[in-house]
């Protein structure tokens, strides 16, 4: 976060931790301090490892030479009859579908198994870098301020971004461009774009969405799935190190998930509380803010955001899944809004489960630390759907809350207006509740 830039974050779907950290800044001399993990009051990611597939038993091959012709003919007849039956049933199903009303569509995002299970090979890193870096850009933000006496002062800061659509939409950190009066984007190939618009700023996260106006045919990154990240998996961090070394590459692993940090500038100002962060030991340097954290399949699984100045190899990235819903809303509907449930919750740990007498050890407890205050926003999506204080939300769709992300991050993968299914425990009984997500207004700015 650069000097001269301020950060203003509104929080509705989460309770913020009280720890203190500092964020990787886009400024020439940003400073970032690690933060003590918060008490188990706010949303907190649990480690998630992709479940392994149980190997199916294999039968030993039979000696086909011992089969008679009768068995062969019988097999052919059976195959013909089976194929005919399948054709008849398929035709009947098609005709029936023509007269069937389409059901209410419930959006489901369960994409679990992807490149997070891939390991680096000795010759693969250079190939991954060559695939990703054409879509990684340097961002130069200019800020002009006027003093009390009327004197003007301009300053510049450098950060990183990544192109997500061929027509020029770019993802970066909010603190890289917030407050900027002018934004310039420089591609890996050396092309410079001055006509850049800040389309939207996420109101609940350190994410900004930019647009290179008039662009077409640009190289793009591939978005991965941060829900299936495993601690220990290899990653690469790419960015404009120190604002001077464009698209520098560092290698490391995922050191942890679900970290909560309080990030600010080098002076300890403009503090912003961030949750569900990915921890990595891949070196993240000043100027790397907004750059991609990439898995071994060349997919972006995080946005590099903060680095600790008090520890070696301790950096933090925002899970990419938290950005997808708002990105879809911007690119498909032209609206810079984020989906939200309209409730407060406490991430369930063993201590929280004991305190509230809960039968589960993970999920989200709908409530606040002030028992006299309702956790449900009156008239909000959760209220309209019938969610109540004291409910425990265990799944969003088929994705487990806590194991694959917090409520805020999992909901961030959907668009406002999507209908999702929540699995809720109420008085010990499980029920499914459909919720149509509302639109949480985001800051939008045009240059």
Task: Output the CA angle 272-314-111, nearest 5 degrees.
Answer: 75
CA atoms of 283 and 236, how far apart (whole Å): 9
Q: Which among 224, 245, 372, 360 has a CA at the least distance from the CA of 301?
A: 224
Indicate if 266 belongs to the active site.
Answer: no
Rounded to the nearest angstrom, the gap between the alpha carbon of residue 104 and the centroid of all alpha carbons in its chain is 26
Point out the catalytic residue in the list 3, 228, 266, 289. 289
- Cβ atoms 255, 280 nearer than 8 A: yes
352: buried, middle or exposed (CB in 10 Å: 19+, 13-18, 0-12)? Answer: buried
Token readout for 157 is: 């800061």
Q: Is 164 left (phi over 0), alpha (psi -120 to 50) or beta?
A: alpha
How many Cα atoms sit within 13 Å of 366 on the Cβ side? 24
Count of residues in the chain: 447
- Cβ atoms 228, 399 nearer than 8 A: no
Q: Which residues pair with 347 in a beta bridge?
A: 364
CA atoms of 445 and 210, how far apart (whole Å): 10
Token readout for 12 is: 């509705």
Indicate if 175 belongs to the active site.
Answer: yes
Token readout for 218 is: 């640009």
| DSSP letter, residue 419 | E
Phi, psi of 411 (to 5 degrees): -70, -30
Token readout for 412 is: 């961030």
Token readout for 30 is: 């940003």
- Cβ atoms 278, 229 nearer than 8 A: yes
Residue 36: partners with Cβ closer than 8 Å, 6 or more residues away: 19, 20
Point out the catalytic residue in the list 13, 206, 225, 265. 206
Q: Which among 287, 308, 309 has a CA at the least distance from the CA of 243?
A: 287
Indicate if 391 belongs to the active site.
Answer: no
| DSSP letter, residue 149 | T
Token readout for 390 is: 């004291």
- Cβ atoms 44, 406 nearer than 8 A: yes
Q: Which residues pair with 439 in a beta bridge?
A: 339
What are the catalytic residues?
175, 206, 289
């Amino acid at each position: 976060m650069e000097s001269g830039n301020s950060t203003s974050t509104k929080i509705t779907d989460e309770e913020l931790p009280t720890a203190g950290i500092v964020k990787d800044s886009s400024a020439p001399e940003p400073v970032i301090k690690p933060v003590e993990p918060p008490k188990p009051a706010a949303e907190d990611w649990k480690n998630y490892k992709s479940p392994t597939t149980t190997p199916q038993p294999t039968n030993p091959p039979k000696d086909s030479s011992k089969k008679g012709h009768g068995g062969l003919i019988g097999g052919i007849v059976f195959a013909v009859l089976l194929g005919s039956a399948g054709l008849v049933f398929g035709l009947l199903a098609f005709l029936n579908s023509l007269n069937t009303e389409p059901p209410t569509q419930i959006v489901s995002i369960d994409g679990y198994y992807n490149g997070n299970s891939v390991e680096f090979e000795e010759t693969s890193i250079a190939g991954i870098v060559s695939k990703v870096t054409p879509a990684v850009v340097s961002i130069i933000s200019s800020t002009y301020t006027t003093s009390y006496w009327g004197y003007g002062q301009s300053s510049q800061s450098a950060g990183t971004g990544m192109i997500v659509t061929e027509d020029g939409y770019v993802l970066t950190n909010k603190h890289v461009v917030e407050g900027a009066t002018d934004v310039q984007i420089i591609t890996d190939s050396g092309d410079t774009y001055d006509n850049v618009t800040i389309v939207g700023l996420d109101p609940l996260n350190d994410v900004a969405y930019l647009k290179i106006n008039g662009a077409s045919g640009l190289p793009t990154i591939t978005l991965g799935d941060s829900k299936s990240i495993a601690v220990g998996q290899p990653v690469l961090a790419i960015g404009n190190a120190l604002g001077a070394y464009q698209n520098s590459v560092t290698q490391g692993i995922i050191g942890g998930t679900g970290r909560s940090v309080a990030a600010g500038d080098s002076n300890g100002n403009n503090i912003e509380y961030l949750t569900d962060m990915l921890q990595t030991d891949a070196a993240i340097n000043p100027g790397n803010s907004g750059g991609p954290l990439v898995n071994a399949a060349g997919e972006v699984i995080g946005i590099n955001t903060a680095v600790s100045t008090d520890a070696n190899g301790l950096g933090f990235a925002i899970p990419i899944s938290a950005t997808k819903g708002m990105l879809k809303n911007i690119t498909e509907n032209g609206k810079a809004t984020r989906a939200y449930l309209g409730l407060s919750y406490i991430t369930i740990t063993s201590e929280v489960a004991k305190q509230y007498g809960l039968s589960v050890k993970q999920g989200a407890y709908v409530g606040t630390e002030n028992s006299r205050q309702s956790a449900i926003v009156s008239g909000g999506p959760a209220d309209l759907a019938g969610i109540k204080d004291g409910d425990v939300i265990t799944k969003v769709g088929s994705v487990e809350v806590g194991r694959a992300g917090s409520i805020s991050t999992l909901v961030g993968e959907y668009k406002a207006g999507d209908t999702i299914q929540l699995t809720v425990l109420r008085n010990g009984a499980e029920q499914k509740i459909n919720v149509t997500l509302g639109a949480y207004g985001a800051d939008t700015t045009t240059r």
